[in-house]
Every structure is written in structure tokens, then in C-alpha cells.
Amino acid sequence: MIRDSSNAVRRTRYFLPTLKETPAEAQIVSHRLMLRAGMIRQASAGIYSWLPLGMRVLKKIEQIVREEQNRAGAQELLMPTIQSADLWRQSGRYDDYGKEMLRITDRHEREMLYGPTNEELITQIFASEVKSYRDLPLNLYHIQWKFRDEVRPRFGVMRGREFYMKDAYSFDLDAEAGRVAYNKMFVAYLRTFARMGLKVIPMRADTGPIGGDMSHEFLILAETGESAVYCHKAYLDMEVPAEGVDYGNHDALAKIVAGWTAEYAVTDEMHDAAACPVPADQLVTARGIEVGHIFFFGTKYSEPMGAKVTGPGGEEVFVEMGSYGIGVSRLAGAIIEACHDDAGAIWPESVAPFQVGLVNLRQGDDACDAACSDIFATLRDAGQEVLYDDRDERAGVKFADMDLIGLPWQLVVGPRGLKSGVVELKRRAGGEREELSVESALARLTGKRAS
């Protein structure tokens, strides 16, 4: 096995500029913590650089999204960030998109733009390559940077101008098959967000500039959410489809979606207190963050852009389409909004930048240094992701930084404990601490039994 040496790092050699002070410009906790934990830095308004720790989280989120898209039968490709204005004139959206679109002119005076989404480009790719109904259904996705010149970029990566998005596009012969494609993505979304430790609520939504007649937003509950949420409390403990969910069983998928859409769940745009069918004692009123949005819009793009196939009877049919977005970079902030305490982030294991933070309480002490080096090497060789704080700093500084960064496990090695052969293992989430022998602690972290 080739080991990835970026998975086991020493803090003295790692670019992790944490901040003690709270940055004045950050209004919400995830923005504050991402700056303080050295995950991101602002490049210009609504545009961020992702530093090594932040990038690890971003890549973990991206990978979960990818695995669940692939499982649902979508295929990954990669389209460019820069698109031609002509393409957007064909759909009529070049003018509709207004000032949110960043328009660019190249040296030949050709009008270009930084893509805010990709319905046009993917439809063009489809239209030039796919000619027969036999090639359907088809769902293509990519994970790529987008740009929307938001009037008020704010809250760090939660509402950026440049942001990282997964966008998938489905192509089907008729509306019924399009509904199946929609259900597949719906189910994949339930699984995707659950894997990140999030409780998500799908809500009937407006379609906005994407258009279409069926749409759901996926929101996670968090006090700082931009949308007000009204939903039946049943959503708080609905069952998420298991890993083995059969995407080939269309009836089973329809049943899952029916269950998850049976109860009342809307944002403020669609809520009408007078007409709300849920009794007050069963209605959850909260705030939420939109982490995904899916749309079914039929032939809205296929018609103007000529995306048609030959049907089984030889007739030409405009394909039925849907599009399905996930805010990958927004999720890094949204997960912090959902999982943190006063001391810092509390990463779910699935998206944590490292699983273990190794804290040497007395750098320079021979016994501590030797024990830590051994533990570090063992964890590294077992393929564990570990950040070893080997700085010559006070214990208090190291503890505060570890809590701020929020790795799931902290392994604390000090001179007193070592004398009696023990180290301390702390779980960041609950704060429980346990004194264990080095062997037992390592066994716990690597999932092996202590000998």
C-alpha cells in the first residue's frame, strides 16, 4: 500500500495558522471558527482560499457526495468554469440572470461568463452526443466551482460569490422516467447528508431562475439559518435509507420519497399560517440552512437547445430533464453550525480533517517525546489520520487549539501519566476522558484489540 503522507502530520511542519482572537468581520459561528481554526482565509469579498485543514474537510465532504451520486447511478464528468455567452442566449437565460452573472470578454471580444450553474452546457453536450432513447436514462454530474455575484456575500463560505457545488443533470424519455430519476437523487440526498451527521428536511420549494414544476430544497436545522422552516415534528426522526438501498427498485424509491414528503415541511416563502394543516403542538418552527436543491423542469432547456432523441416508434422526442445541486463548500460551514460548542468545532468522524489529535504535554521531555513519536508512527502506519501537536507550547494552548480544530479524538501524553504507563483519551463530542495504557488507546483508535 502506498501511504499518503499528508494523513499524518506534525504541527511544527503543518501550515495551520490558528487565531486566538475572534475576527471582527465574522457574524456567525461557522465563519468565526473556520477563520480561527485556520481553515479558510478571505481573498476578496465572498471569495476564499482553503488552507490545508479546510481543504481536507472540503475533500471529505466532496467524496461522500461523490460516493452517493455514483451509488445512485450518476456518472461524473468535469465541465469548465468559463462558458460562452452564446450558449446562454440559446436558453434565454443570458439576460434573465442579470447582475448575478459574472461576464467576461476575451481578447477576441468574445463574450464569456463564469458559470453560475450548468444546465445549458450539459444540455449542449447531451444534444450533440445522444441520439437514441436506448441511451437513456442518463444522469451526469460534476463537482466544480461556480460564481454568482451575490449582492450581499456573507457568512463566510455559506453565502460566497465563488463556491463549490455538485450539480447533476438527468435526461429521460418521458416525465414518468424523469420522476424516477428525481426520486433516485432525492434518496441519494437523504443518505449523503445523514453520512455527514446532519438531520435534513426536504421541503417543497419555489423553482426560481432554474424553472420547472417540481422542486425540493434540503435544509438542515441551525439557529443561524437564512430560511425560516415550518415542519411536522415527525421529520425529526424519520428513517434514512440504508446503504444497500436498491436504486433499481423504482417502487421502493417512490415509497421512500412518498414517506419523506407526506408531512408538512416548507420554508417561509411557501408557509401560510392560516392554511397550515399541522396542529401547533406538532409544528416545528425553526431556522434552516439550504444544503441541496433539486428540480424537475421537463423540456425547459431541451426544447430551446434541441436536445432530442429518437423514441421507440422512430419519433423525435425532446428529453425530460432535472437538475440537482449540493452546496459542497457551504456544507463545511453548515456542519459547523450544526456541530460546535463554545470551544470550537466538533467534527463528525466522516468529515473530520484528521481523526486523532496527539498532544504532547511536555515537548522536550525525553519520555514524552519518545512515547509520542512511537504513537505517531503506529497511528500513521495503521493508516490513521493524525495531527501531532509537537510544538513547544503550554498545555493550555495546545488543549484550546485542539478543541478549536475539533478533531473527534484527542490523545494526551504527559510526564505524570507516562510514569504510571497511561495516556488520556478524550472524545471531543461528549468530552469524556479515559485513562488507558498506550496499547489500549492505540487499539481503540486503530480498531484493533489490545494484546
165 binds ligand 5CA per the rule CB under 6 A:
yes
C-alpha torsion sign, points 390, 393, 395, 401: negative
Which of 296, 324, 354, 409: binder of ligand 5CA (CB under 6 A)?
324
Dist. CA 87–CA 93, nearest whole Å: 9
Q: Binding residues for ligand 5CA, how many (CB under 6 A)?
A: 21
Site string for ligand 5CA, 25-54 (x = CB under 6 A): ------------------------------
Q: How far is the CB of 264 from ligand 5CA (least distance, A)?
A: 21
Q: By CB under 6 A, name the one of 148, 184, 191, 195 that touches ligand 5CA.
A: 148
Taking the least distance from each CB to ligand 5CA, the nearer of 325 and 406 is 325
Query: For residues 60 and 148, which CB has a smaller minimum distance to ligand 5CA in the complex?
Result: 148
Which cell goes with 66? 461523490
Q: Report the amino acid identity of residue 397.
A: V
Site string for ligand 5CA, 71-100 (x = CB under 6 A): ------------------------------
The verdict on 143 binding ligand 5CA (CB under 6 A) reads: no
Residue 163 touches ligand 5CA, criterion: CB under 6 A: yes
What amino acid occupies position 398?
Answer: K
Binding of residue 184 to ligand 5CA (CB under 6 A): no
Report the distance separating Cα 436 and Cα 16, nearest Å: 29
Q: Which residues of 136-161 are buried (b: 16+ CB within 10 A; e: fewer)?
A: bbbbbbbbbebbbbeeebbbbbbbbb
For residue 379, count other CB atoms closer than 10 A to its CB. Answer: 24
Site for ligand 5CA in 185-214 (CB under 6 A): 210
Shortest distance (Å) from residue 449 CB to ligand 5CA: 42
| Residue nearer to ligand 5CA on the CB measure, 201 or 404 | 201
Cis peptide before 52 (omega within 30 of 0): no
- Closer CB to ligand 5CA, 330 or 398, in the complex: 330
Q: Which stretch binds ligand 5CA (CB under 6 A): 180-188, 266-274, 280-288, 290-298?
A: 290-298
Task: Look up residue 432 and give its DSSP letter.
Answer: -
Q: How far is the CB of 179 from ligand 5CA (least distance, A)?
A: 17
Question: Which three cell numbers mark 352?
Answer: 473530520
The interface region with ligand 5CA, picked from 175-183, 238-246, 326-334, 372-380 by CB under 6 A, is: 326-334
Tell me phi and psi for residue 158, to 5 degrees: -70, -40
Please report whether residue 323 would count as binding ligand 5CA according to CB under 6 A.
yes
Kind of pairing, strands 138-147 and 75-76?
parallel
Q: Which is nearer to ligand 5CA, 320 or 389 (CB)?
A: 320
- Per-position DSSP letters for 123-183, written without gaps between them: HHHHHHH--BGGG-SEEEEEEEEEE---SS-BTGGGB-SEEEEEEEEEEESSHHHHHHHHH
Q: Could you tell me which stretch among 96-104, 159-167, 273-281, 356-364 binds ligand 5CA (CB under 6 A)?
A: 159-167
Tell the smallest beta-carbon distance from residue 197 to ligand 5CA (Å).
17
Indicate whether 336 belongs to the interface with ligand 5CA (CB under 6 A): no
CA distance 443 to 451: 9
Asked whether position 117 contacts ligand 5CA by CB under 6 A, the answer is: yes
Q: Which residues 6+ apart lie within 8 Å of 385 measured at CB?
A: 7, 8, 352, 353, 354, 355, 356
CA–CA separation, 58 and 60 (whole Å): 6
Does 226 help bind ligand 5CA (rule: CB under 6 A)?
no
Q: Which of 38, 54, 288, 327 binds ligand 5CA (CB under 6 A)?
A: 327
CA-based Rg of the chain, rounded to a whole angstrom?
A: 25
Q: Which of 100, 111, 150, 369 binds ligand 5CA (CB under 6 A)?
A: 150
3-state secondary structure of 59: helix
Residue span binding ligand 5CA (CB under 6 A) among the ranges 158-166, 235-243, 309-317, 377-385: 158-166
Which residues, 6 or more positions from 58, have their beta carbon under 8 angstroms from its beta carbon? 50, 164, 328, 329, 332
Least separation in angstroms between CB 17 and ligand 5CA: 23
Interface residue list for ligand 5CA (CB under 6 A): 117, 119, 148, 150, 159-160, 163, 165, 167, 210, 290-293, 295, 323-325, 327, 329-330
